[in-house]
Amino acid sequence: MSFLSVQQVSRSCMNGEETTAVLKDLDLEVGKGEMVMIMGPSGSGKTTLMNSLGGIEMPDQGGISLDGLVVTSLGPNDLNQYRREKVGMVFQFYNLIPTLTARENVMLALEGRKLSRKDSRERAQRQLDLVGLKGKSDRFPQEMSAGEQQRVALARALVKEPALVLADEPTGNLDEASEAMVLDLLLKARKELGTTFIVVSHNPRLKGHMDRCYELRHGRLSAI
């Protein structure tokens, strides 16, 4: 079985009386250390798929497993542990905690690890330096630009050194130089840690670095 295996996953959403099928018998197999890009029109279900892979939403049907762990069969506690330890998510709208500084937001991802506050602070700071935010660690999200917040969100996902990184439009608000820096970080994580990446993006500059690219349409993925 692949490192990440998605089999026959279906998910519907309720809008009032109407039920809309968002994901329909979707299959995906990803090897360890692979980088996979997912494109698709707005509303096609990309975020829904990412949330399902990240254990945030449960599919109505089908199975998802990561490294032999059947995510779709986990109870609430194990699912929590899965989200905390195995997955780093870069959310489309960042989801930073507004009352915490950039550094504190990143440190939060390390909670539950046996790290002293000092070590956790240093690790968070190093990761913020790596995304080009040296000197901005004490800012609150509202004091940062969209591109800066996006990089805090990336730092928060990478600081855990998770097996799987799910990044929803991670370069949407970045200039070319920041984007190149972010891409270098992803490639470095893959090379040094064997991190597997699923990236939702429409950025043609990222596409060239991906192992595979899929389009999500009508609830399924097709290779492009």
Q: Which residues bind ligand ATP (CB under 6 A)?
A: 13, 15, 20, 22, 40, 42-48, 92
Question: In angstroms, rounded to a whole number, what is the distance separating the alpha carbons of residues 35 and 182?
Answer: 14
Q: Which stretch binds Mg ion (CB under 5 A): 18-26, 45-53, 139-147, 171-179?
A: 45-53
Number of residues that bind Mg ion (CB under 5 A): 3
Question: In angstroms, rounded to a whole number, what is the distance separating the alpha carbons of residues 79 and 12?
Answer: 21
Nearer to Mg ion, 31 or 43 (CB): 43
Give yes or no for residue 201 binding Mg ion (CB under 5 A). Answer: no
Closest distance between Mg ion and the C-beta of residue 12, in Å?
A: 17
| Cβ-based neighbours of 112, under 8 Å, separated by 6 or more | 84, 85
Nearer to Mg ion, 90 or 155 (CB): 90
Closest distance between ligand ATP and the C-beta of residue 14, in Å?
A: 6
Q: Is the dihedral of CA 55, 101, 146, 197 positive or negative?
A: negative
Cβ atoms 133, 151 nearer than 8 A:
yes
Helix or strand run (H / E) with residue 104: helix 102-108
Closest distance between ligand ATP and the C-beta of residue 198, in Å?
A: 13
- The pair of structure tokens assigned to 16 is 């009032």
Nearer to ligand ATP, 50 or 128 (CB): 50
Residue 101 partner contact from ligand ATP, Mg ion, none using kind-dependent CB cut-offs of 5 to 8 Å? none
Cα of 181 vs its chain's centroid, Å: 17
Cβ atoms 13, 19 nearer than 8 A:
yes
Question: According to CB under 5 A, which residues from 73 to 92 bind Mg ion?
Answer: 92
Nearer to ligand ATP, 48 or 137 (CB): 48
Nearer to ligand ATP, 40 or 170 (CB): 40
Question: In angstroms, rounded to a whole number, what is the distance separating the alpha carbons of residues 108 and 130?
Answer: 18
Closest distance between ligand ATP and the C-beta of residue 38, in Å?
A: 9
- Report CA-CA distances (Å) from 173 to 72, 151, 164, 186: 33, 9, 22, 17
Selected from 5, 44, 47, 52, the binder of Mg ion by CB under 5 A is 47
Closest distance between ligand ATP and the C-beta of residue 61, in Å?
A: 16
Tell me which residues touch Mg ion (CB under 5 A).
Answer: 46-47, 92
